[in-house]
Amino acid sequence: MDKIKAGVFSSLSPEDMKTVAKRLRRHIISMIGKAGSGHPGGSLSAVEIVTALYFRVLRHKPLDPCWPDRDRFVLSKGHAAPLLYATLAECGYFPVEELLTLRKLESRLQGHTDCRLIPGVEMTAGALGQGLSFAVGVALAGRLDSKDYRVYVLLGDGECDEGQVWEAAMAAAHFKTDNLVAIVDNNGLQLDGWNRDIMNLAPFAEKWRAFGWHTVSVDGHDLAGLDAAFEQVRSVKGQPSVIIARTVKGKGVSFMENQVDFHGKAPNAAEVAMALKELE
Amino acid sequence: MSELVSLRETYGKTLVELGRGNPDIVVLDADLSKSTMTHFFASEFPGRFFDCGIAEQNMVGIAAGLAASGKMPFASTFAVFVPGRCFDQVRMSVAQPGFNVKLVVTHGGISVGEDGTSHQSIEDLALIGALPGFTVIVPADAVETARAVKAAASCCGPFYIRLGRPKLPLVFGEDYHFRLGKAATMKQGQDVTVIAIGIMVSAALEAADRLEQQGIDCRVLNMSTLKPIDEGAIIKAARETGAIVTAEEHLEHGGLGSEVARVTARHQPVPLEFVAIKDTYARSGKDSELLKKYGLTADGIEAAVRSVIVRKK
Ligand SMILES: Cc1ncc(C[n+]2csc(CCOP(=O)(O)OP(=O)(O)O)c2C)c(N)n1
């Protein structure tokens, strides 16, 4: 953990990375449990994706959150705010102790991310479907400014129901933003149920391909596989890349896994205790 | 305090009741049917329920097509997403052709609570209220919710009905006779009038009770039909009580307060005070904490009454 304190992330061993992921899961459970509301399912499913990004892939300086050359991470599925907050705190953007103020009156940790309040949050989110357009803008600005930063944006699969996602997908390919990488947390569930029952996305990878994106599919809980995917898309030129990460909603807590009811429901005290025990 | 009842649940169950009597009623949702409570209708009439996924613009467009073809669509999601996410679809595909689309939205205002700014709808009444031909209703309790939804189903044309997330105390008995476009007088009074909507109606009654004990005789009107607004009741209140306070869970801009100001300025200018959110976005917090922080309480109304009364001629 000293390495984390020093901001030297890329040298973390695979074991360290797993430890980080588990810590993030524990934070998510404790934060949402204490708040009494929030979205555990879609926060837990993206833990490895965000761990790989912040502790391996992204070029960033927690003590200099506005560093112009930083890689950008845009959380489009803003209801996974607890995951982003926990990650930023673990990286040293703000004190870990603050995490337990989530959703409380006067806390900086709003239910959905507010970029005016927290260092390291690039985008105000909460209404789904808007992050990819924003990320295209940030990517275009990087090109205009001759910067070599890269832009990463995390989408939910249900979020891809929104037409704006596909407008942005078309624009990103049209503008050849090869400094842009979208990651879809493909846990198969949205709010009312399974994607295939609510609004069928299939064939999903083919859609992205047809829109002109370099498309990679990975196991979204395999840190090494994610790492390799992020590395692979780095060399793609002339088109944006999307990593479709197959995940399990509620991953890591047995009674939350694949349970749509834990999309937007906080665990009660007993459930928090049980979950934390599983995550020891 | 009287019993707390969920407006959303009442909406969901009323839809089922209406659906049994009218096979042309169809229901659409945008991946929030468990929160808007349209899931009751979905389980009873699966063939007449369309979950459009997280795609509000598309949902409104589909509703317009259904309405144009003789169906009576009720489309629901959170108030931030309709009209927020699809204003032009509501404007062009529903308001301009005047289609028979019923938009019934939940989680209006700041009482949605911890989800924070992105989910707090404080501009929706201004946006929808600006659209010619729309009827806009903000019910004060579960009884009025059922009446308003049934009224919408019995009239042709676009409706917007805004409900909140929390359960609310009943302010009406089962004998309540809802009249579309008419204010309900909740309490008679001669010194000042409080005109309220939604969650603020019970707060207005509480404030009026307290003021009564201090010798201030406060009239309370529930202006649940925000559009077309009951101009007669506003003019009468202005004339008879000489001062008005409005109370709403919305921005001061473009909601109930603006409407009352528009009517009084033209017909019967009197001092006004506005209990509303003042040109800012709110924060995450418990509903009760937020209402207190932004002054949307009986205390807030009481203070507004005191300051407006001083300005009476
Ligand atoms: C525009 C919009 N419509 C509806 C919602 C309400 N909502 C919040 S999360 C969610 C489901 C999201 O599903 P998905 O994108 O798959 O996220 P995940 O399963 O990864 O949590 C919905 C419908 C919203 N936040 N924004």
CATH code assigned at B259: 3.40.50.920
Chain B residues lying within 8 Å of A34, measured CB to CB? none
**Given this model, what pLDDT does residue B313 score?**
80
Helix axes A223-234, A14-35, angle to 10 degrees: 110
Q: Token pair for residue B99?
A: 């289609």
Residue A156 CA: which ligand 1 atom is closest? 15
Task: Judge whether B169 and B193 are in contact, CB under 8 Å.
Answer: no
CA A82 – CA A33 distance, rounded (Å): 11
Task: Judge whether A136 and A130 are in contact, CB under 8 Å.
Answer: no
ipTM for the predicted complex: 0.92
Give the closest-approach CA distance of B127 to chain A in angstroms. 18
Q: How confident is the model at residue A4 (pLDDT cuts 50, 70, 90)?
A: low
The CA-CA-CA angle for residues B70, B76, B79, to 5°, reads: 130
Of B169, B201, B226, the residue at which a domain comes to its end is B169
Residue B126 lies in a domain: yes
Answer whether 0.80 is exceeded by the pTM: yes
Residue B179 lies in a domain: no
Residue A129 confidence (pLDDT) above 90:
yes
| Residue B287: domain span | 184-312
**Given this model, what pLDDT does residue B89 score?**
98
Interface membership of A96 toward B (CB under 8 Å): no
Selecting from B52, B58, B116 the residue whose C-beta is nearest the C-beta of A111 gives B116
Nearest alpha carbon, ligand 1 atom 17? A156
Answer yes or no: do B130 and B251 share one domain.
Answer: no
Question: How far from each other are the two terminal CA atoms of chain B, in whole angstroms?
Answer: 36
Nearest CA in chain B to A128: B54
Q: How, if at all, do strands B225-227 and B135-137 pair?
A: antiparallel
Interface membership of A202 toward B (CB under 8 Å): no
Q: What is the mean pLDDT of chain A?
A: 96
Instruction: Give mean pLDDT, residues B99-111.
Output: 98
Residue A7 confidence (pLDDT) above 80:
no
Selecting from B57, B118, B290 the residue whose C-beta is nearest the C-beta of A78 gives B118
**Given this model, what pLDDT does residue A11 score?**
76
Residue B176 lies in a domain: no
Instruction: Give mean pLDDT, residues A154-183.
Output: 98
Phi then psi for B274, rounded to 5 degrees? -120, 115
Q: How confident is the model at residue A10 (pLDDT cuts 50, 70, 90)?
A: confident
Interface membership of A162 toward B (CB under 8 Å): yes
CA of A155 to the centre of ligand 1 (A): 10
State how far the alpha carbon of B99 is from the alpha carbons of A246, B15, B135, B156, B227, in Å.
42, 19, 12, 8, 17
Residue B7 confidence (pLDDT) above 70:
yes
CA B282 – CA B274 distance, rounded (Å): 17
Answer yes or no: do B26 and B137 share one domain.
Answer: yes
Residue B295 confidence (pLDDT) above 90:
yes
Please report, for the domain that includes residue B163, its CATH number.
3.40.50.970
Selecting from B32, B81, B118 the residue whose C-beta is nearest the C-beta of A112 gives B118
**Given this model, what pLDDT does residue A5 score?**
53
Residue A160 CA: which ligand 1 atom is closest? 15
Residue B32 confidence (pLDDT) above 60:
yes
B293·A105 Cβ contact <8 A: yes
Instruction: Give mean pLDDT, residues A105-128.
Output: 96
B116·A127 Cβ contact <8 A: no
Answer yes or no: do B74 and B195 share one domain.
Answer: no
Instruction: Give mean pLDDT, residues B57-85.
Output: 98
Residue B216 confidence (pLDDT) above 70:
yes
Q: How confident is the model at residue A2 (pLDDT cuts 50, 70, 90)?
A: low
State how far the alpha carbon of B170 is from the alpha carbons of B40, B112, B203, B277, B310, in Å.
22, 19, 12, 24, 32
Task: Judge whether B108 and B139 are in contact, CB under 8 Å.
Answer: no
Residue A112 CA: which ligand 1 atom is closest? 25
Task: Judge whether B63 and B73 are in contact, CB under 8 Å.
Answer: yes
What is the rounded radius of gyration, in angstroms, for the C-alpha atoms of chain A? Answer: 17
Of B127, B146, B169, the residue at which a domain comes to its end is B169
Domains and CATH numbers, chain A: 2-278 (3.40.50.970)
